[in-house]
Amino acid sequence: MSEVVAGPGGLPAAAVVARATTPAGEIALRRRGEIVELIVNGVFAMDSSEVTSEIALADAAGPAPGRVLVGGLGLGYTAARLLDNGVRRLDVVELAEPLIDWAVAGITGQLERVAHDPRVQLHHGDIAEWLPRRTELFDAILLDVDNGPGFLIHDRNARVYAADWLRTAAERLSPNGLLAIWSEDAAPELGRALAGLGILTETVIEVEREGRRFGYALYLLRRTAPAG
């Protein structure tokens, strides 16, 4: 059940806008002035003040991408950018069901836009289990469900950084499709797990937040088209 403490607008700093308990822990949205913060499993996951890498994740799929799967709705920055980039069809899988309900109800303008765009389908589920059950192919699969293998918000998300799951994900890509994974830090073990599944590129995105510098990593795996 969602606990909506107060609506956006006229709130004191870091006011809780919405909070709910889920089987995977508490999820909350807070508002600090103009900034929206997302708390996942009781841990600060992201805010709206610095979203360069969320947008870079979407841009990795290229202009006018075909069918794209995003793991983790969050505040909807990656999804909204894909819409701006002209995506043809977008599936978003989100573990926290209340976040989907809040998006549909329009808790932020951006989440409302994503939830109501006819190209988008929001799915409640765990991407670790959802994707292996699918048979269709995606032109891009973009994963931003956790901080990366080195610092997990949900222990169970270790599965999506494991070699066998990544192989399954790569098999769900269309020829020349892209699997892109966001990580808070360089994660050599993730690079090793992806090695051999396609053409691998690692990009570091330097950002500054509250006077501190961070080097977020994007792992980009391009599936090579089968010979012949």
Ligand X SMILES: C[S@@+](CC[C@H](N)C(=O)[O-])C[C@H]1O[C@@H](n2cnc3c(N)ncnc32)[C@H](O)[C@@H]1O
Q: Which one among 17, 28, 36, 93 touches ligand X, defined by CB under 6 A?
A: 93
**166 near ligand X, rule: CB under 6 A:** no
Rounded distance, CA 6 to CA 182, Å? 32
161 belongs to the binding site for ligand X (CB under 6 A): no
User: Which one of residues 18, 29, 96, 115 is an interface residue with ligand X (CB under 6 A)?
Assistant: 96
Binding mask 118-137 for ligand X (x = CB under 6 A): --------xxx---------
Length of the chain measured in residues: 228
For residue 15, the one-letter residue type is A
Phi/psi for 49 (5° steps) reads: -80, -25
By beta-carbon proximity to ligand X, the closer residue of 12 and 34 is: 34
End-to-end CA distance of the chain: 53
Nearer to ligand X, 72 or 149 (CB): 72
74 sits near ligand X (criterion: CB under 6 A): yes
Contacts of 172 (CB under 8 A, 6+ apart): 69, 131, 134, 136, 137, 138, 141
Helix residue spans in the chain (DSSP H): 52-59, 77-84, 97-105, 109-116, 127-130, 163-171, 188-194
Which of 95, 114, 173, 178 forms a contact with ligand X (CB under 6 A)? 95
Selected binder of ligand X within 17, 28, 40, 166 (CB under 6 A) = 40
Per CB under 6 A, residues contacting ligand X are 40, 45-46, 54, 71-78, 93-96, 99, 126-128, 144-146, 154, 157
